[in-house]
Structure 1
């Protein structure tokens, strides 16, 4: 696998993914019982936007950079910007937080996080980020395989009834990745049916996603929500025009929270023809 997220950190896909991730974390933390979170493709945890990889693509300029420069935002987006600022206060002005850092920032002392990363160099960096944080266990292994071992979540005698799984794969072969992700989601729902599951996906050609949506609608979740942010017109297979999230068993009012955020994000980050979408594949009875 050749993918390195350092080339893409802070881009428009990270923005929608991380706004939604924080919204889910905040919903979980509204109740006092402990939460278990799994990040299956965690990366290195922190990224330098002034590093060569990030500057080579300059994708962050059109994502977090443009969002920071825009007018003040609605509450879910402000929540995300405050988390980015907290990261920069702790680690430097040109730093961008990856999803495991945001999980650790949003969750509490009695919550637990499993961050999985297959690439040895990235896993080593991730362990360095969380050295001394007893809440976070870094697993240098394939995230899909880790789900079988980690679900249902337990640590010693402690069982976790609530939590989330974030699946954010590289999609080096998109259709094959959908097969892996959907199989992992089906198996995980059988093992931990009450968990919240978030799957990020890129959008290049709309019609290529239709089989994925049909299969996702058959997963044994109580409800399935799709949120998408398109920063380019939905007409080019040669670039990533936008991205989306499939959220299974979404927390109460997540749809309203994301509806509040998506239009301002499209206006702040998109060019002419930008759009957004929020639909239920399956609504709760």
Structure 2
């Protein structure tokens, strides 16, 4: 479990999709004055230096955010995503990449709250340090837990505000994560049926992926959007990730139309070979 490090993958194709969706949902939640919570079950370190040895090991950002960095006329949601990261870096040089907690903290209002879970001991310590370096008024919005986000999510639900965005993006290095995610979602929906849940998943050659998606689609009394991006042909040996997806439960009504523009664009510009493709499906009650 503890071999996984978020920094290895910072800014890759999966982060592009995940964070584009997250920014869209945050922007939508900010349109109403009512406060909300953001809950991140697998938070990581918060922000990453792309010059660090962990990030440079595979330099996955070069096939993700770097591909979009200087492109003109981006679709609206991708432009928002790239502009945010440019502002974070305060210039044209791409050095820092934000994790989901950092994006949430930047976009939330003063009255909103952030709940972060991170089980990896080193990641947890770095996350704490990164948050503590922020202005005290900002850090007061945040609670950090060195606990298993799967197990403790239900303790946060329902939030007193009755509005929440929950991001669930485990490593899936342990095959039981797929079943655990479905179990966690069933428990979460029992406590907070109307919450918005953003679920990231890898595209790998495991039957567990497709079984998990099938189980999520069968959950009752929800609406959902499922966006998946394949960037290359699966490897012959069955190892490695050839794409990723986002399954969003109770999405903003604006998300599916936005992804109709975003997904073809990502497929074109993040493709690593001629086998790149995307899928975009949804269910409305």
TM-score, structure 1 as length reference: 0.92
Cα offset for 1:276? 1.1
Which of residues 123, 137, 154 is equivalent to 1:148?
154
Q: Structure 1, unaligned stretches of length 5 or more? A: 154-158
Where do residues 86-97 of structure 1 align in structure 2 (5 Å cutoff)?
86-89=87-90, 93-97=94-98
C-alpha root-mean-square deviation of aligned residues, in Å? Answer: 1.7
Cα offset for 1:234? 5.1
Residues 1:279 and 2:281 are matched in the alignment? yes
Q: For residue 5 of structure 1, what is the aligned residue in structure 2?
A: 6
Structure 1 runs (4+) deviating above 6 angstroms are none
Q: For residue 128 of structure 2, what is the aligned residue in structure 1?
A: 127
Q: For residue 169 of structure 1, what is the aligned residue in structure 2?
A: 170
> 1 CA distance for matches of 2:153 and 2:202?
22
Cα offset for 1:239? 2.2
> 2 CA distance for matches of 1:208 and 1:259?
27
Contact 2:88–2:96 (CA<8 Å) still a contact in 1? yes
SS in 1 for 2:219: coil
* Deviation digits for residues 107-132 of structure 1 (CA, Å, limit 9, x no counterpart): 11111110111112211211222222
> 2 CA distance for matches of 1:213 and 1:137?
30
Cα offset for 1:72? 3.3
Q: For residue 102 of structure 1, what is the aligned residue in structure 2?
A: 103
SS in 1 for 2:57: helix
Number of residue pairs aligned between Structure 1 and Structure 2: 276
Residues 1:264 and 2:265 are matched in the alignment? yes
Contact 2:36–2:112 (CA<8 Å) still a contact in 1? yes
Judged with a 3 Å threshold, the aligned counterparts in structure 2 of structure 1 residues 64 and 177 are, in CA distance, closer, same or farther, namely: same
* Deviation digits for residues 206-241 of structure 1 (CA, Å, limit 9, x no counterpart): 755332222112223421210111111356532211
> 2 CA distance for matches of 1:27 and 1:18?
14
